[in-house]
């Protein structure tokens, strides 16, 4: 990985802040993974909106396999390590104290052991054992996926993994109820909310957090973001958006009154392989349905820098449905869409009927409801 690319990833993943920080922390580490010359602490899969910390430097040099990071934060924070080799560690926690650790393997499935971090110990030895069997089952399902398996098998894997995520959400909710003052629980709500978007169970879990946690920077940001994103719950209505039309100008889009009985709002990006892979199936569905019954509004999360790639894919794939660009990401951020593909199915009044579903699930829904007409 080039140095410039590494720096850009770190800047993208971290939001640095200096809001009345007082508590200092340090991390003295040893990393024996080959090729690692630079590393950084990053928010990774948790939105930077929830973070309030600062470091002495953005990127830390590794000398003789050793490194040191210093900074300030008022409460324990959740982090990932990202290195110049492209390696990413599992989630771990740092406290506002002096800490040490050894990294001999870089894997998103392995949580680094941090000496003198009580918060990380809680995560490793109290929380993770509750999800261990679910994680093992999820890994088995993931290993069964490849492009050559049948659509039925893919749907079975998707449904199986979805049910596992739901069970993990229940584990988290029960953990918060048992330990309302757990910083680990607060950060896990923030992580799941970032990855999967708004779910009522995250709002319920947040409500069980202690008053002191709700008063932290992360706690207040969670409350605000959950409230805003609650509009994306089932039966909610998407707000108006200001988007750039493909080969057109930027304009306001309303989702409240739609001409079709059902409308798919599909968020994608030009660098999203799963998004692009589903286009043939979407194209077939679009071409075999009447516009009075079903339509598509596609919204790309590409930046102005990658807008040419967005336009090229639309042309190359001959995507004939409505295409818009969320140039600055304002609309996506408002809905807490931090990963694509993401989607919603709306009725003609704009009410959300389904969210984050596969094309196969969409086909089944449209087929079943068409028979009721």
Q: Is the pLDDT of residue 180 over 60?
A: yes
Residue 160 burial (C-beta neighbours within 10 Å; 0-12, 13-18, 19+): middle
Residue 267 burial (C-beta neighbours within 10 Å; 0-12, 13-18, 19+): buried
Domain spans of the chain, in order of start: 7-114, 119-232, 241-370
> What gap in Å lies between CA 95 and CA 79, rounded to an integer?
11
Domain covering 7-114 assigned CATH 2.60.40 in the classification: yes
Q: Tell me the two tokens of residue 13.
A: 């993943």
> What gap in Å lies between CA 346 and CA 234, rounded to an integer?
10
Per cent of the chain over pLDDT 90 is 71
pLDDT of the residue at 77: 94
* Closest by CA position to 194, among listed 335, 318, 74, 57: 335
Q: Among 3.90.1150.10, 3.40.50.300, 3.40.50.2000, 3.40.30.10, name the CATH number for the domain at 241-370.
A: 3.40.30.10
- Pairing outcome for strands 250-253 and 322-325: unpaired
- DSSP H helical ranges for 27-150: 118-122, 128-143
Q: What is the sign, positive or negative, of the torsion defined by CA atoms of 332, 76, 126, 87?
A: positive
pLDDT in tens, 181-199: 999 999 999 999 998 888 9
Q: Is the pLDDT of residue 3 over 50?
A: no
71 phi, psi to nearest 5 deg: -175, -165
- DSSP H helical ranges for 208-320: 211-214, 217-229, 273-277, 279-287, 307-316
77 phi, psi to nearest 5 deg: -120, 155
303-311: list long-range contacts, CB under 8 Å, 24+ apart. 303/327, 303/328, 303/329, 304/328, 306/269, 306/270, 306/271, 309/270, 309/271, 310/269, 310/270, 311/246, 311/247
323 phi, psi to nearest 5 deg: -125, 130
pLDDT of the residue at 18: 41
> What gap in Å lies between CA 192 and CA 168, rounded to an integer?
10
Angle (CA) 91 51 164, round 5°: 40
DSSP string, 56-69: S-SSEE-BTTEEEE
Q: Is the pLDDT of residue 17 over 70?
A: no
pLDDT in tens, 116-145: 999 999 999 999 999 999 999 999 999 998
Q: Is the pLDDT of residue 289 over 80?
A: yes
- For residues 15 and 123, the model is more confident at 123
């Amino acid at each position: 990985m080039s140095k410039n690319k590494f720096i850009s990833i770190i800047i993208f993943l971290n939001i640095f802040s200096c809001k009345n920080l007082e508590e200092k922390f340090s991390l003295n580490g040893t990393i024996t993974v080959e090729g690692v010359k630079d590393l950084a602490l990053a928010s990774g899969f948790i939105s930077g909106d929830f973070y309030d910390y600062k470091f002495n430097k953005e990127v830390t040099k590794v000398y003789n396999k050793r490194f040191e990071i210093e900074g300030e934060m008022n409460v324990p924070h959740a982090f990932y390590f990202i290195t110049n080799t492209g390696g990413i560690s599992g989630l771990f926690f740092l406290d506002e104290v002096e800490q040490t650790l050894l990294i001999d393997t870089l894997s998103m499935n392995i949580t680094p052991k941090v000496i003198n971090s009580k918060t990380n110990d809680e995560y490793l030895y109290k929380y993770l054992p509750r999800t261990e069997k679910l994680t093992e089952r999820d890994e088995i399902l993931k290993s069964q996926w490849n492009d050559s398996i049948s659509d039925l098998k893919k749907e079975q894997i998707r449904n199986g993994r979805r049910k596992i995520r739901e069970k993990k959400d229940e584990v988290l909710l029960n953990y918060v109820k048992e330990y309302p003052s757990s910083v680990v629980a607060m950060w896990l709500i923030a992580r799941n909310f970032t990855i999967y978007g708004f779910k009522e169970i995250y709002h319920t879990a947040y409500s069980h957090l202690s008053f002191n946690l709700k008063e932290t920077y992360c706690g207040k940001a969670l409350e605000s973001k959950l409230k805003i994103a609650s509009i994306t719950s089932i039966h909610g209505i998407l707000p108006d958006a200001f988007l750039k039309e493909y080969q057109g100008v930027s304009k306001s889009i309303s989702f409240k009154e739609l001409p079709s009985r059902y409308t798919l709002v599909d968020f994608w990006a030009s660098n999203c392989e799963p998004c692009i892979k589903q286009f043939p199936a979407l194209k077939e569905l679009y071409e075999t349905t009447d516009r009075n019954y079903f339509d598509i509004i596609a919204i790309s999360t590409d930046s102005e820098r990658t807008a040419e790639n967005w336009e090229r894919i639309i042309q190359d794939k001959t995507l004939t449905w409505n295409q818009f660009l969320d140039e600055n990401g304002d609309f996506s951020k408002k809905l807490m869409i931090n990963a694509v593909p993401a989607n919603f199915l709306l009725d003609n009044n704009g009410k959300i009927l389904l969210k984050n579903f596969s094309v196969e699930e969409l086909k089944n829904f449209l087929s079943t409801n068409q028979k009721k007409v």
